[in-house]
Amino acid sequence: ITGPYSADADESAVAKMLDFLVACKIEERSTYTEKELAKCNLRRSDLGLDNPAVKLRISRGADCEVVHIGDRLSTTNEVYAAIGGDSSVYLLDSRVLGLVDVPTEAFRSRKLIVRESLPITMFDIKRPDGRLLRMRQSDGQWMCCGDSASGRYFPASNLRIDEFLACLGKSVARDFVWPVGAEGEPQLVTVPMLAGYGLDTESGVTITVRDRGLPPNQVVLGDDAGDGLVYALVQNAKAIVRVDKRLKDLAVAKEFSDSRIFPYDASRVSRISFSDGGVDYRLARTGEGKWIMDSPVSANADEEGVKNLLERILAATADDRDPNGVAVSLSTNVPAEKI
């Protein structure tokens, strides 16, 4: 959108309007020449075409077509229209008004971030306390770095991060605060504006979505806006809107670290080994997804039994550590844990 203010447009709303206009046909019976109008003692002004309800200008390269849309007919679902400098008057399907005679807001994008619908694999969250959490996904497992000094990443909770990203993907602008075409409003967001909505760097919760080789996308969540909403700076600082408060709650309240001893999804585990009573047990998942036993014997495994075993292992937390317990490992690269 370039006027009456600058904003990102809703591609689907624009496409719907253009599809309808392209499909519009003017039937021969719906065309009235200037002479025919004179015979009926009618002028263009009588049909609302001198000061039209809508003036539609469509450009393609150097070509430009202007359509004046006037009054509705009382007897049919049509409106009077005049095209360019043509003196004739035409009848168009009145549904065209429902697509073009709408507030500018109807054409605005309500997305929070400006990106293609690709899976998010990296993002940061900066909280008001100054803490910066960096998240990245590696081979299906989310990793979290909460210490910028060390730069070390630790396994994070896939469940919690998936919940947060699902909320981010579904969240849309409920309504618009800026820009809205108000008299005297700034064309670019200002520091006092941000502070007034709790969106400044000291107060806001900043979410930065990163894609390798592409510019980052940023959303800042601010003060309470009433009705279960908060203010948000979205679309890379092009708009201030109100969004569902749940997104901020998830970004602030959730610690994304995983308290489990083995912070993995069951679907990602391909090997289980444990020692008990001097006997080593080893299980492996085949390429077809079937579990087999490698030790102490080679045989097909009980699928239901392995599923139950894996559920219990993956549910283990630090409280389940036991120096006299069973030594369990789900990876050849990580020492066994006794639980």
305: which residues sit within 8 A by CB, 6+ positions away?
Answer: none
Q: How many CB atoms lie within 10 A of CB 239?
A: 24
* Averaged pLDDT in 10-residue chunks for the chain of 339 residues: 93 92 79 88 90 90 91 89 87 89 93 80 91 87 77 83 92 96 92 96 94 86 97 95 96 78 82 87 90 92 93 89 89 73
Q: How far apart are CA 70 and CA 55, in angstroms?
A: 9
Size of the chain in residues:
339
- The strand order across the sheet containing 54-60 reads 31-32, 89-93, 78-83, 63-72, 54-60
Residue 76: per-residue pLDDT = 85
- Whether 133 contacts 124, CB under 8 Å: yes
Q: Which of 45, 98, 48 is CA-nearest to residue 71? A: 48
User: Can you tell me which residue has the tokens 């293609």?
Assistant: 116
Interaxial angle between packed helices 158-170 and 246-253, expressed in degrees from 0 to 180 and rounded to the nearest 10: 150
Residue 308: per-residue pLDDT = 94
Its pTM stands at 0.76
Q: What are the residues facing 108 on neighbouring strands?
A: 9
- Whether 10 contacts 74, CB under 8 Å: no
Residue 245: per-residue pLDDT = 97
20: which residues sit within 8 A by CB, 6+ positions away?
Answer: 95, 96, 99
Residue 195: per-residue pLDDT = 96
Residue 118: per-residue pLDDT = 72
Q: How many CB atoms lie within 10 A of CB 44?
A: 17
Give the per-residue SS3 of 282-319: EEEECCCCCEEEEECCCEECCHHHHHHHHHHHHCCEHH
DSSP line for 131-178: -EEEEEEETTEEEEE--TTT---EEB-HHHHHHHHHHHHH-B-SEEEE
